[in-house]
């Protein structure tokens, strides 16, 4: 089962498989590792902009690190 779906040109997280994959969160990861998401449940918007091109089908670690840190910081 996919961890995300698509709607209105944005990715929508549908299941949780890591700390930052919160169902209902929507946004986009770009090819040069720019990432922007909104989480309506947490009333949060986050944007990360880098210039690191993806070198595999998996997202660069910096994306997971950024979003994990954002969710951890909200709970501190």
User: Is residue 21's pLDDT more than 50?
Assistant: yes
Q: How many other C-beta atoms can be found within 10 angstroms of the C-beta atom of residue 58? A: 9
pLDDT for 1 equals 47
What is the extent of the structural domain holding 25?
4-74
Average pLDDT score over the chain: 82
pLDDT higher than threshold 70 for residue 16? yes
As separate numbers, helices (DSSP H) first and strands (DSSP E) second, the chain gives: 1, 5
* Euclidean distance between CA atoms 24 and 12, whole angstroms: 6
Query: What pTM value is reported for the model?
Result: 0.73
Within a 10 A sphere around the Cβ of 35, how many other Cβ atoms? 20
The total domain count for the chain is 1
When pLDDT is averaged across residues 8-29 and rounded to a whole number, the result is 82
User: β-pairing, 26-29 with 35-39?
Assistant: antiparallel
CB 3 within 8 A of CB 15: yes
Q: What token pair was written down for 71?
A: 């969710």
């Amino acid at each position: 089962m996919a961890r995300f779906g698509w709607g209105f040109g944005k990715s929508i997280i549908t299941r949780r498989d890591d700390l930052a994959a919160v169902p209902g969160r929507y946004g986009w990861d770009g090819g040069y590792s720019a990432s922007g998401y909104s989480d309506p449940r947490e009333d949060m918007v986050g944007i990360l902009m880098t210039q690191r091109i993806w070198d595999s089908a998996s997202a660069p670690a910096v994306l997971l690190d950024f979003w994990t840190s954002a969710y951890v910081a909200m709970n501190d």
